[in-house]
Structures are given as structure tokens and as C-alpha cells.
Chains A and B, each alone.
Chain A
Amino acid sequence: DAKTTQPPSMDCAEGRAANLPCNHSTISGNEYVYWYRQIHSQGPQYIIHGLKNNETNEMASLIITEDRKSSTLILPHATLRDTAVYYCIVRVRFGGSNYKLTFGKGTLLTVNP
């Protein structure tokens, strides 16, 4: 199973870009990388996912290295409301054709005023 490694915590100043790294060196060639976040006491929230091309949506950008062994989630202009635990996830196949998302410990991003 592909696993991910993230720093346990990061700080960012409000208004600046937050760059959250993730290593997934054992990812297989056809597996996507997913990012979720969890604001305190709330359910996780889907942010973005990608395979090998960079992706951007209204929330964030995802940069995946050419060898696909790592990726970076970018919040271009972090706000205090972006303080949350960010999870980098590689989907795991189980039970035949079913998949699950395995949430690790993630990175606690604290956005400071």
C-alpha cells in the first residue's frame, strides 16, 4: 500500500502562500493523490486531487513532481480560517474492486495574524 509522509505541523502568516509538502514515494503509476483538510471539530473536507499534472481549483493548487514521489498543496493566500489539519492521501484498494481513503495524522497548519 502506498503511504504518505507529511510534517506534523507548519506555520504560515496570514495573506501569504502556504505550501504543504507530502512524500509518497511508493505510489503506483495509476494512483491519484488526494488532499483533504479538517477544521477543528468538523468533518474532513475534500480539497483537490491529481495524478501527474498540476491541478488548480478555487481552493488550492496541487503540484506533483515529475517522478510522482512527492507533491505540494498550495493555498495561495492563507487566511485564519485555513487553520486546519491537512491530509495527503493515496487511495488504497481493498476487497477486490473497492477503494478506501486512509487518513494518516496529517499536517496541522496554523495561520497566524
Chain B
Amino acid sequence: EPEVTQTPSHQVTQMGQEVILRCVPISNHLYFYWYRQILGQKVEFLVSFYNNEISEKSEIFDDQFSVERPDGSNFTLKIRSTKLEDSAMYFCASNPRGGGTTDTQYFGPGTRLTVL
């Protein structure tokens, strides 16, 4: 069964450093998402991406964040200058058709980001 994959599973970085989290969505899906989950808290929406552009973003997704689909298979989340409060589990998700019919979103296993 196809699944969303994410790398690395755990990333440790120093405050102020740039990190790139990588995701490979399910191949025929069209909408892609990043969510984050701070330890013990709810899953929070960061951004949705369709047709090579951001379709919606949350207040959390400020100028320090960016997303890219560089090669038609990978979907990346970049944090330019990490802060301590960016420490969280980051989940990628994909959706076959996106809004309207609101098809099922499939989540990856997550990348745990630790900012020291």
C-alpha cells in the first residue's frame, strides 16, 4: 500500500541554523501539507500546497518557513533560522484531490526536530 515517507526521522540542530525536512508524498496525490505537533499538544496545520504554490498557510507559517516541491516527487519544509520553540514533530500529509470533496489525508511518520 502506498504511503507517505519522511526523512530524517530525527533532526537535531543548533538555534539559528537552517533545517530542511523532506517528504515523499503518495505519487498520484495533488495536495500536500505540513503539520506540526509540539510534545503533548494537538496537531497544528502549517501550510497546504497545490499546483506548485501555497494554497493556505497558518499564522505559525511566518517568513522563516518555506515549502518547495523541487523535483515532482519530494516536498520539503525549510526553516531558515530555527528557534527553540520550533522543536516539535513535523508531519507531512498528502491528499488525492484536496478540497471540495475533502478526500482522506494520509500522514507520514513524522520528523522529530530538536533545536538546542
Partners in one complex: no
> Which A residues contact B (CB, under 8 angstroms)?
none
Binding site for A on B (CB under 8 A): none
